[in-house]
Amino acid sequence: MQGKPRILLVEDEDNIAIAIELLLSREGYDILRVADGSQAIPNIRAQHPDLVILDVTLPGKSGYEVCQSMRLTQDLTTVPVLMMSARASQAEQRKGLAMGANAFLTKPFAMDDLRSCVAELITGDRHEN
């Protein structure tokens, strides 16, 4: 990996996106953002991120649909995915992981949890919370 690790953040809520962008950019990551699920796959293909952080509830396409599309697209199957949702149920987490997410965080989450999860996914470890 050359330069800063690149993260594509797919999040439609501005306040959450800004907080995540600030935290992760301070950690040395290059953050790109889209706010619509239908923009995710074209941006993943164009930007070649090292990680995709994906909200479940999005306009256009849900995070579940985006994640499933990634896992069915040959050149995107290995891109790690961190899914996020305000719905705290175990069923939501299981669904996200079944669709191919590598990790799942429930909003609101501690920024330390996000920081460690991102670091683990970028280095190839697995994390579920």
Per-residue HEC secondary structure of the chain comes to: CCCCCEEEEECCCHHHHHHHHHHHHHCCCEEEEECCHHHHHHHHHHHCCCEEEEECCCCCCCHHHHHHHHHCCHHHCCCCEEEEECCCCHHHHHHHHHCCCCEEEECCCCHHHHHHHHHHHHHCCCCCC
- Please write the tens of the pLDDT for every residue from 41-74: 999 999 999 999 999 999 999 999 999 999 999 9
pLDDT band at 89 (very low <50, low <70, confident <90, very high): confident
For the full predicted model, state whether its pTM sits above 0.85.
yes
Domain ranges of the chain: 6-123
Q: Out of 3.30.565.10, 3.40.50.2300, 3.90.120.10, 3.50.50.60, select the CATH number for domain 6-123.
A: 3.40.50.2300
